[in-house]
Amino acid sequence: MKIAVTFWGTQKYIEFLPQWYERLEKYFVPDVEKTYFIFTDGDLEGSPNNVIKMEIPHYGFPTTYHKTFEEMMKLENKVSDCDWLISVDADLYTWEEIKYPDFFDDTKKYLGVHHPCHKVGFPPHNQLPGSYDVNPLSNAYIDDSIMDMSVYYQGCLWGGKVPYIFDMIRKIDEWTKEDVTKNIQARFYEESYMNKWFLTHRDETRTLAPDYAFPEMFEQYCDFSKKMVHLAKDNKALDNNQW
């Protein structure tokens, strides 16, 4: 069993990497071999042997969202010997030990995480159409035939089996590029396209509980456990340890 894990962080976001890596190594299916692909413009000198740099520029907002899946396609040959590819946001830290069967479902091709704010019922999740993109001109368009107000996926954690996950990555890259040429912006960028994919492949998708994206910023509203914690963007306790 081998798992590829991706990190995306340019400029100051590279500061999240040391603890992000250390906590994944220690707590995330620790008995399984993992290789980390780091999309960054930063310096990874002295990094562990299972860390591979994927050089990218700092695209800036909102271009970084348009380029995400184009860059991810560059992994297709590099991870061909892996069983799973998992994308974990730079500011999503593993909080406690996560065992393989609690996270993965080998009967499914894809996985996504239930958005905590949807679970709690924060606006706009609390009434139709929620956070779905309902612009019929967008490739992320969710119509009544696939809309499911019982779930909305957060883009901070997603993945799938290799090679199937590249079907998703390739299609979302196509959707994004087509919309960009038409000056159409998906409502919540790549997250909107991911929701479109998961809803149209719901029988093939494992939905992880919001415990895997526990929001530090809204902790007082959450009645579920912490398995992975989404740090507040202005987190002052961030340890800036280098490799």
CB proximity list for 22: less than 8 A, separation 6 or greater: none
pTM: predicted TM-score of the whole model, two decimal places: 0.94
Instruction: State how far the Cα of 76 lies from the Cα of 65, in Å rounded to an integer.
Output: 19
Classify 190 in phi/psi space as left (phi over 0), alpha (psi -120 to 50) or beta: alpha
The confidence score (pLDDT) of residue 234 equals 61
Amino acid identity, position 122? F
Domains of the chain, residue spans:
2-230
The confidence score (pLDDT) of residue 232 equals 86
Q: What is the mean pLDDT of each run of 10 residues along the chain (243 residues)?
A: 97 96 98 98 96 97 94 98 98 98 98 98 96 98 97 98 98 98 97 98 98 96 96 59 45
The confidence score (pLDDT) of residue 236 equals 44
Neighbours of 195 (CB within 10 A): 29
At 46, list the tokens: 């002295």
Q: Please list the helix, strand and coil fractions of the chain in percent, rounded to the nearest 5, in that order.
A: 35, 20, 45
Topology (CATH) of 2-230: Spore Coat Polysaccharide Biosynthesis Protein SpsA; Chain A (3.90.550)
Q: How far apart, in Å, are the Cα atoms of 166 and each of 16, 30, 66?
A: 26, 25, 16
At 83, list the tokens: 């069983």
